[in-house]
Structure 1
């Protein structure tokens, strides 16, 4: 199973995005628990539940992105799409984890705080993952034309794997 996963860059992209979404939401949910509480009092079960929901939301939103063929983007548009999906996924995860949803009684402040912290964490990850643009080897520069340059991406996948994933859609 893992061998076929390594051979499929699109599946790796889905796993990378869902994993980061889950981790960012988990971190933000624990932060929302407050610093005045002890480790035993943190909302561990809730954080795990909301993280799993965020991972599922990420998979669904990424599938929509791939189906719409809206994947082969330059760095900043890609970051914007990822941040938007992260915010929406986190908010949806908070709503689904609430059980029976009541718009009036729902804790919007906490849900929006978790979504905001998650989105800020996603921005930090994207900026830290950004690789330098690299010239394509064997390009037409020998014919007097400038070498094409691969743009950087906000993905933590290897640049070649990420480019394969997003260019196939």
Structure 2
């Protein structure tokens, strides 16, 4: 059977996408989540040490941070300024308890949720006030690069559900 150039070109065009996808490979999502959690811990260590550069280096230049009051910070500079203000607060403390998460097998996208405890100084009373929050963070990574935060959404945590009352049957 003789194959002409046109037939060979058609075959190459049909096979090229499949070959490119196969070359991309896949990443174990659990490994991605573990790597992000370690990165997140390094960020928390920076925050505890009042290291502003270490605290904000993981945000992309165009990242969005939605704060508990619903206000949105756009961009690394705005996020750095907000962290700087927090770090000047003598009562500032931040703890994060990892919850759920998922990562794409492509190794370039992940979403993690956490329970957050944020302590700051109440402007009216000067006393420490602690908020219980829920956080959802979207992480992205270019091939071979560090995981970066593209979006973080933090909202007041839902109150703990009360135990259901025993149902009584009227007979």
TM-score by length of 2: 0.28
Which has a greater percent of strand? 2
Tell which structure's C-alpha radius of gyration is larger: 2
TM-score between the two structures when normalised by the length of structure 1: 0.28
The structure, 1 or 2, with the larger RCO (C-alpha pairs under 8 Å, 6+ apart) is 1
Structure holding more helix per residue: 1
